[in-house]
């Protein structure tokens, strides 16, 4: 193989596929990037079995071929090269010779004959949306997936399409995050559970433009994200997602409207008094036109009040401040509506049209 390309296009390609390079495995191929060149295009591929990424980079092909190179070393070398043309040439011993201006590198590789290519994904069922929307919806829900591998399904997110609406759901046993996105057209229904790691990785690769399209193709086993010159294929999580409808309700006894920033900043300050060893809830007293927030731990105490617009009963209720903060941080509205039933029932932060719903379980407090 002999190819040449600019540093920026090679670096960009390496950055994209590196998300699918295993950092743990000692199986050589999982830590490698395959550079494969036909007579018409140069392709970079990485695959850690859970996730595979391939991308096409611009360049000039002198001789077709392929080689698998250590991803970290390749990344480091290219990053440190000047902004100039890079030539990669392989020899019969699977050595790669990398040249740029007056630098010459020789690094060992493997033939790539046993490299794991991306699984073929049939392109029957798909949806299309903007990269910006996908990136946003991931950011707004990803924090409430579980990191417990024993509840595998909770480590992923539900992607469900009905007509022209995409619903994304994540939950971890203490809270549920639901976002609904209006698509530009209707698609065939789908319901899949995508691993959280895949979503995090895809989110990092996306440039995030409002005008830039991304297509998601699904089969029983896999999801394919296709955008620009890049394909990302991930396994889906198998199993039935939790039935969340029965946990949602529009009934409430107490509702208040609050300035989001004031509420978030106040809860953030209260979190200073939480020690890992002694998890205290933040206590809210919701009364007429104010909410009184209080936390009291061995480190000290905090009291604060915020003006609210309230409907319904007064209520005293406790929460893990982190759960409230996580939800408030990803809501862009200036004011939020909070709905509660009693001190033991879930609290809902949601907007009028339910395009977002954040359900958070309270923490029991001494009466």
Q: Where on the chain is the footprint of its own copies (CB under 8 A)?
A: 73, 76-77, 80-82, 102-108, 265-266, 268-269, 272, 299-306
Which of 126, 152, 175 lies closest to 356 in space, CA to CA? Answer: 175
CB of 59 closer than 8 Å to CB of 5: yes
The distance of closest approach from Cβ of residue 108 to its own copies in the complex, given in angstroms and rounded to an integer, is 6
Least distance CB 257 / its own copies (angstroms):
18
- The Cα–Cα gap between 152 and 57 comes to 35
> Please, which residue, 300 or 366, has the CB nearer to its own copies?
300
* The two three-digit tokens of residue 118, written as one number: 């991306």
Closest approach, Cβ 309 to its own copies, in A, equals: 17
- Which C-beta is closer to its own copies: that of 79 or that of 344? 79
Q: Which is nearer to its own copies, 247 or 299 (CB)?
A: 299
Whole-Å CA distances, 217 to 23, 127, 137, 155, 232: 27, 7, 17, 21, 10
What is the C-alpha separation between 201 and 197, in angstroms, rounded?
6
Find the helix or strand (DSSP H, E) in which 224 lies.
strand 222-227
Residue 189 C-beta: closest distance to its own copies, Å: 46
Asked if 149 and 140 count as a contact pair (C-beta separation under 8 A), the reply is no
Nearer to its own copies, 97 or 355 (CB): 97
- C-beta of 212 vs 262, nearer to its own copies: 262
Give Cα 179 distance to the centre of its chain: 14
Of residues 100 and 118, the one with the C-beta less far from its own copies:
100
Please spell the DSSP secondary structure of 301-351, one letter per residue: EEEEEEE-EEEE--EEEEE-HHHHHHHHHT---SEEEEEESSTTSPEEEE-
Shortest distance (Å) from residue 259 CB to its own copies: 12
Least Cβ distance, residue 51 to its own copies (angstroms): 26
């Amino acid at each position: 193989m002999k190819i040449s390309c600019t540093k920026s296009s090679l670096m960009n390609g390496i950055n994209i596929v590196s998300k699918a390079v295993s950092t743990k495995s000692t199986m050589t191929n999982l830590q490698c990037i395959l550079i494969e060149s036909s007579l018409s295009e140069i392709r970079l591929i990485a695959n850690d079995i859970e996730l595979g990424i391939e991308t096409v980079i611009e360049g000039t092909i002198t001789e077709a071929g392929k080689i698998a190179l250590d991803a970290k070393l390749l990344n480091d070398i290219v990053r440190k090269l000047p902004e100039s043309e890079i030539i990669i040439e392989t020899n019969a011993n699977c050595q790669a010779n990398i040249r740029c201006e007056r630098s010459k590198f020789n690094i060992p590789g493997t033939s790539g004959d046993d490299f794991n290519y991306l699984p073929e994904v049939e392109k029957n069922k798909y949806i299309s949306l903007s990269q910006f929307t996908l990136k946003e919806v991931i950011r707004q829900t990803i924090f409430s997936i579980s990191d417990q591998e024993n509840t595998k399904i909770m480590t992923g997110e539900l992607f469900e399409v009905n007509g022209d609406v995409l619903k994304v759901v994540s939950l971890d046993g203490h809270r549920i995050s639901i976002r609904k996105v209006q698509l530009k057209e209707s698609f065939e229904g789908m319901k899949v559970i995508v691993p959280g790691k895949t979503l995090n990785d895809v989110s990092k690769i996306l440039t995030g433009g409002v005008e830039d399209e991304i297509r998601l193709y699904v089969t029983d086993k896999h999801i394919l994200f296709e955008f620009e010159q890049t394909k990302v294929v991930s396994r889906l999580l198998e199993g039935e997602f939790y039935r969340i409808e029965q946990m949602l309700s529009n009934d409430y006894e107490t509702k208040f409207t609050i300035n989001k920033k004031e509420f978030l900043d106040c809860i953030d300050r209260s979190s200073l008094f939480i020690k890992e060893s002694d998890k205290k809830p933040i206590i809210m007293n919701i009364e007429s036109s104010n909410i009184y927030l209080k936390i009291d731990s061995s480190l000290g105490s905090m009291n604060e009040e915020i003006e609210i617009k309230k409907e319904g009963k007064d209520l005293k209720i406790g929460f893990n401040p982190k759960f409230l903060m996580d939800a408030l941080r990803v809501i862009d509205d200036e004011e939020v509506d909070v709905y509660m039933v009693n001190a033991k029932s879930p609290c809902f932060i949601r907007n009028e049209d339910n395009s977002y719903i954040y359900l958070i379980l309270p923490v029991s407090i001494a009466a």
